Amino acid sequence: MYKIKAIKGNQANGVFYSGMMWVKDIVNEDLCIVERLKQEDFADASPQRTLDSTAVGRIAKDIIKADVGKTGQNGGLATPTAILLSCDQELEYDEQKKELIIPDGVVLSIMDGQHRVNGWKVALDKEQDNESLQNSTIAVTIIPAISPANKLWQFWGCNYLAKKPTQDQSLNLLAHAWKVNIIGAFIPTAAEKKAEKREEVFNVVDFVQRINKSDASVWKNHILMEGEKSERTDNKTKMRAMVDVLRKYVFTEHSVNTAEYLWQSYWRVLKKLVQGAYPNSALFKSTGCEIFNVVYEPFMNTFTTEYGRDFTEANMEKLWTDIFSELGGEGLAFISVPEFWQSGIGVGEHKLENYSSRQPRAELIKSVLKTIKKHAEQLQPNE
């Protein structure tokens, strides 16, 4: 007989119990198992996932590393969420003692949490002398007298109906965790690896959040942040797209702090030339964001060749005006076509030479890069 301190809950389709179990008991296969639903119960295969040994190993490492009662870079709760268990039989519950009684011979089926349970099992095997781990408890929810069909439905509800965080939500969460120095609580196993790359990502996320709010930023309110809804007419780029293109093409050799003022000047000039003359050009949508961030570094290299380190917006404007005038014979007229920015396809006479409507953005980027390179070559002294 096994007893659990638990509280009783009621829902429309029956009762359930929530309580705590010793981890060393929940990893005991005489008491708890991952039940694979049999072929005779359902025509399809078991709804349970195949055990992912890599995930189990990662969870075990996190459990061993986490220090109970600590938070921050090297601590935090390892597996605070409840394990969902069930059994075929009705269970006795003592209302006075608040105890759930599991008779001998009754085996609980793990419907949600098999990787966490197996992670704990590996951790306990590796750390047999670790008293705090050996005496750990974990939250459980137990559903008694459940049919195979309801087990399938519960598994489906836990694993397939749950909505994963969006990429923007994950970026915002991890960037904040990094800023307040608790990133190890979220990804403790990764805390020792790829630190520079992760710091780079969070720096750019922080930069994107700032430029979307700052009154001094040309990109203010032009980034679609997590939770915001957009209309087709909005002149905005999604946060994740902005972070990706900045990391890949802009903040490559310069730190965010030293590059920011140049990048802001660069975009102020583009806004003046493109959106100033053509207010409906949708410059800040994803196409404009990608094109002009991809060519940022080649443009700045050409700029220093022509103007040295005289980083004035007037000089940037002169260079962009020259490049636009040389661009495929169409120049500024082409990139100002509103239909291009909205649909990604050039219209009418505003098509580049060898322009492909199947890859309009790539073709335009290629043409701008080619024009910048040609302009730079013209600046080189003749030998």
pLDDT score at 325: 77
What's the confidence (pLDDT) of residue 69? 45
Q: Domain map of the chain by residue range?
A: 2-162, 168-379
Q: Which strand ranges, in their side-by-side order, compose the sheet holding 14-22?
A: 32-33, 108-112, 83-86, 137-143, 14-22, 2-11, 99-102, 92-94
> Exposure of 357 by Cβ count < 10 A (0-12 exposed, 13-18 middle, 19+ buried)?
exposed
What pLDDT, on a 0 to 100 scale, did the predictor assign at position 8?
94
Whether 336 contacts 278, CB under 8 Å = yes
The string of pLDDT tens digits covering residues 16-26 is 999 999 999 98
pLDDT tens string for the chain (383 positions)? 899 999 999 987 789 999 999 999 989 888 888 765 444 444 444 456 678 888 888 888 888 877 544 444 444 455 667 899 988 899 999 999 999 999 998 989 888 888 889 999 999 998 888 888 888 899 999 999 887 767 777 776 776 666 666 666 666 766 666 665 555 544 544 444 455 566 677 788 888 988 999 999 999 999 988 777 777 667 889 888 898 899 888 887 654 445 788 899 999 999 888 776 666 667 888 878 888 898 898 898 888 888 888 888 999 999 988 887 777 555 455 555 555 554 444 444 444 444 444 446 677 777 788 888 888 887 765 44
pTM beyond 0.75: the answer is no
pLDDT at residue 381, as a whole number: 57
SS (H, E, C) 178-233: HHCCCHHHHCHHHCCCCHHHHHHHHHHHHHHHHHHHCCCCCCCCCEECCCCCCCCC
Helix, strand, or coil here: 315? helix
CA trace torsion 316, 320, 321, 323 (10° rounding): 140
Handedness of CA 332, 333, 335, 336 (dihedral sign): positive
Task: Mark out the alpha helices in the chain (DSSP H runs).
Answer: 23-26, 53-65, 114-126, 131-134, 148-159, 167-179, 183-186, 195-213, 239-245, 256-270, 286-294, 296-307, 313-326, 332-335, 338-343, 360-379
Strand partners, 108: 32
16, 143 Cβ separation under 8 angstroms: yes
Q: Write the DSSP symbol of residue 161.
A: S
Predicted pLDDT of residue 211: 92
